[in-house]
Amino acid sequence: MFLPIHDGVVKHWFLVVVNIPDAECEIWDSNPVDSANTRRQEYAIASMSLLEKVFGNELRMAPDLYARFGSFSISYPESCPLHPRSEDSGIFVIRNMQFYRQRWYVGFNSGD
C-alpha cells in the first residue's frame, strides 16, 4: 500500500510503503535529513494507526495479521534514489510508486 506523505515542516514529500504480507513499513525518502527521520517515522506510525482504525473490522477477520499490524518494522530501503533539491521530492515519490523497487533512477536527471 503506497502512502505519499507531506512533511510540512520542511516542505518535502516522501513515500511510506506498507507491506502487509511481510509486516514491514518502508520509508522511501529521497532527501533524508537526520533531524527529520524521527518525525517521518512518527508520520509513518500515525498513518499505520489510521489504517488500522479505517480497516479495523476487515483486519480483525485475519487475527494473525491484526495482531502484527501495530508492530510492523520500519526500514529505509538502501536502494532509494536521492536528490539534492527538495522541490523534486514529489516527482521522486511518483516515480518510486510507478517503478517500485526498480532502478528507474539510473540516468535520470531531475533538471530535464
Q: What is the per-residue pLDDT across 46-90, written as a single tens digit (0 to 9) for each?
A: 888 888 778 777 766 766 655 566 678 888 888 777 776 667 888
3-state DSSP assignment of residue 6:
strand
- Close Cβ partners of 12 (under 8 Å, ≥ 6 residues apart): 6, 31, 36, 86, 89
Locus of grid cell 533524508: 32
Amino acid letter, residue 44: A
Q: Are 90 and 98 in contact (CB under 8 A)?
A: no
Q: Is the pLDDT of residue 3 over 90?
A: yes
- β-pair type (73-75, 24-28): parallel
What confidence tens digit (pLDDT) does each residue in 4-42 have? 999 888 888 999 998 887 888 999 988 877 667 788 889
Q: Are 65 and 56 in contact (CB under 8 A)?
A: no
The pLDDT of residue 4? 96
The pLDDT of residue 14? 92
